[in-house]
Every structure is written in structure tokens, then in C-alpha cells.
Amino acid sequence: MKKLRIGMIGYGFMGRTHSNAFRSVNNFFDVPYEPVLQTICARNEERAGKFASNWGFASTETDWRKVVASPDIDLIDIASPNDTHAEIAIAAAEAGKMVMCEKPLGRNGAESEAIVDAVEKAGVPNMVWYNYRRVPAVTLAKQLIDEGRLGRIFHYRAKFLQDWTISTDLPQGGEGLWRLDVKVAGSGVTGDLLAHCIDTAMWLNGGIEEVSAVTETFIKSRKHNLTGAVEPVGIDDASLFLARFKNGSLATFEATRYARGHKALYTLEINGEDASIMWDLHDLHRLQYFDHKDEGRLRGWKNVHITDREHPYMANWWVPGLQIGYEHTFIHQVADFLTAVGGGKAAPPTFRDGLATDDVTDAVLQAAATRSWTKVKERA
């Protein structure tokens, strides 16, 4: 089997999920490549060394440019903060490497457009890590929609609720807290959490035409970890928007880090003429399904346990009845990427798909700033 040597930039939470996925994929999926954890790149050499020995990387590097230029690397995987994505992705594409990038692709549509131009010009395989598409229950939802079982879609409803930034004492910036620093993150929950909801939504229900939004920054200033000074907070702490999809359906989206009691409650619901679907990340191995065509006396919500062999991805795991979890979504993503690349096909969500999501988050932020309905940028 052909080896695919990975150069990974960044070793935080996402560096761990990706490393685990690259390491595990050949144990469970029949794919045309064997990923090799070649180089882990991070600024702190000692910690990079520990990460390398824990996950089995062959070498460490502190300068990402050397990893991108190295003839020993086939694929650059970007798991570093958002402000680094564009520069690394563009350099990697120009060096002819395959590129995988954490979400959101860029800090805004303009940055993502430059990244898309670079990978498309170079003709290199690319993929954004929107992992929730690969939760088997969500993939099943996609199959059911594509089979036409829901009929005409009327409503899409998504929420991503967290509560980890409520404390006024929480600083902004630096490792672990760069998501609160607008210069690094690009935006707050709009780019961090709504981006997931938008990617899934457009995959399931098609493009979004226009949005109306409200955002709020509840805590206006926080100590910055890098400067030590109290600085204004530039991110949105909460972001809510209404949307009209191109298929005519109406949607509500909500993301916040101020929903006390909720840690990562991503939920979605789709209502069609013939059937409805509900899914919940805290119960990710279940899909709720209501079919209006069922006999009236027995009509009701079905709670489907997504563990059978005929469920997406599940034949590759344990035995029926035994569920899988969050980390597996990343393994599925790598499996699909390797299969697509082996077959000379694009591996969605491609960078162009990631750009489409960033166009929507741009429109959301603009709609909130101008308090007006805003069209999502149309691209050829």
C-alpha cells in the first residue's frame, strides 16, 4: 500500500483528533493509502517532542515552512489557530502538497478565496475538517433526504450551545484561548460553532440565499494573555440568525458560549412535508425520525440506534448494538479522503465547500452589523 507522509502543523485539541484518525484508519477501513505520521510541527520543541513520542510521529520541527518544503512530506495537515490557515495552506499548495485544514477554512471569505485559488491552481487534493458530516446518524440523515423521503423541506433548525466563557475572569488570547481573540479567530461563535451548523445544513439542504442576524458580546473586555493588558473583546459571544435556503425553506440558527449547562450541544432538526429528522450531538448515535406515511394508529417519532451494519460506516466497527463516538468522525473523514484521492476524486467538504460556509458566516456578521437582511455572496 502506498504511504502518505503527513506533516501536521499544530498539536492542540485538533492535532490529537487528527493524529488519532491517521493512526487508526488502516485498522478499520480498506483504503488505498497508509498514512505515516512523519513530522509534527509546533513552536515549543520540548512539547512537540512529547507529542511526537505519544502519537508516534517520526520527527519534530518548529518552522512550518521547512515541513512544507520537505520532500519527505506528501500532505500538510493544518491544525493550528485560524490566523495561520491561509499562509500555510497557500504555501503547501504551491509546494504541490495535499492539504487538509481545520475549520473554519479562513478567518473570512476573502482569506478562504485566496486559499481556494491556490489549491485549485495547484490541482492538489484538499479537505476541510467539518467532522460532523461523518457522524453516522448525520450521514444517514443525508441519505434519507437524498432519497426524497422528507419530501419538500419547510424548516431547518440548528443550535450549537456551550457555556465555557461565562466567567469574566477568563482571559483572552494565547494557547487554548485564541478563540476569544478576534485577530486570531476572525470571529467568535459565528466562525467557531455556527460554521459547523452551516456546513452540515448546506450539505443536507442546499445553499443559503439570505440571512438576518443578531450578535452580542456579553463580556466587553478581558485581560489578554499575551500583552497582560485588559483589552476590548472583539468576538461575538452569541450569534443568532434567520435564513432562507435556495430551496425555499426557512431556518433558524443559534450559537452561544453563554448557555449555562450546555457544553457542546449541537442539535439539528429538519421538517419536510412527509417526514422530519432530529439529531443531537450529546446523543450522537441516535437519529430521531418521524414518517407521516406510517399507519396513523402507530405514527410517532422513531428513535433509531445507529449501530447496525447497514448504517453508514458502522459495518467497519464493532457488532450491531455497540455504538461509536466523536473521535470516529475524524477517522471516517480520513477514510473518505484517502478513498477519494485514490480514485482521483474530490473529497468533500473541499476548500471550495469551506469557502461557501465562510461566505455565509460573512453574511451573518454583516447582517448583524447592519441590522438588515443580507444576501450570501454568489460565486460561479
Q: Which residues bind ligand SOE (CB under 6 A)?
A: 162, 192, 196, 264
Closest approach, Cβ 281 to ligand SOE, in A, equals 9
What's the CA gap between 247 and 244, in Å, rounded? Answer: 8
Judged by beta carbon, residue 262 or residue 311, the one nearer ligand SOE is 262
Residue in this structure with the C-alpha cell 492542540, named with its chain if needed = 12
Closest approach, Cβ 53 to ligand SOE, in A, equals 25
Judged by beta carbon, residue 61 or residue 192, the one nearer ligand SOE is 192
CA gyration radius, the chain: 21
Closest approach, Cβ 192 to ligand SOE, in A, equals 5
Judged by beta carbon, residue 5 or residue 107, the one nearer ligand SOE is 107
Judged by beta carbon, residue 38 or residue 329, the one nearer ligand SOE is 329
Judged by beta carbon, residue 5 or residue 222, the one nearer ligand SOE is 222
Closest approach, Cβ 36 to ligand SOE, in A, equals 26
Closest approach, Cβ 252 to ligand SOE, in A, equals 20
When CB distances to ligand SOE are compared, the closest residue is: 192
Closest approach, Cβ 330 to ligand SOE, in A, equals 10
Encode the chain in three state secondary structure.
CEEEEEEEECCCHHHHHHHHHHHHHHHHCCCCEEEEEEEEECCCHHHHHHHHHHHCCCEEECCHHHHHHCCCCCEEEECCCHHHHHHHHHHHHHCCCEEEECCCCCCCHHHHHHHHHHHHHHCCCEEECCHHHHCHHHHHHHHHHHCCCCCCEEEEEEEEECCCCCCCCCCECCCCCHHHCHHHHCCCHHHHHHHHHHHHHHHHHCCEEEEEEEEECCCCEEEECCCCCEEECCCCCEEEEEEEECCCCEEEEEEECCCCCCCCEEEEEEEECCEEEEEEHHHCCEEEEEECCCCHHHCCEEEEECCCCCCCCHHHCCCCCCCCCHHHHHHHHHHHHHHHHHCCCCCCCCHHHHHHHHHHHHHHHHHHHHCCCEECCCCC
Q: What residues have CB less than 8 Å from 123, skipping those under 6 apart?
A: none
Judged by beta carbon, residue 162 or residue 187, the one nearer ligand SOE is 162
Judged by beta carbon, residue 31 or residue 202, the one nearer ligand SOE is 202
Closest approach, Cβ 264 to ligand SOE, in A, equals 5
Closest approach, Cβ 174 to ligand SOE, in A, equals 16
Judged by beta carbon, residue 196 or residue 285, the one nearer ligand SOE is 196
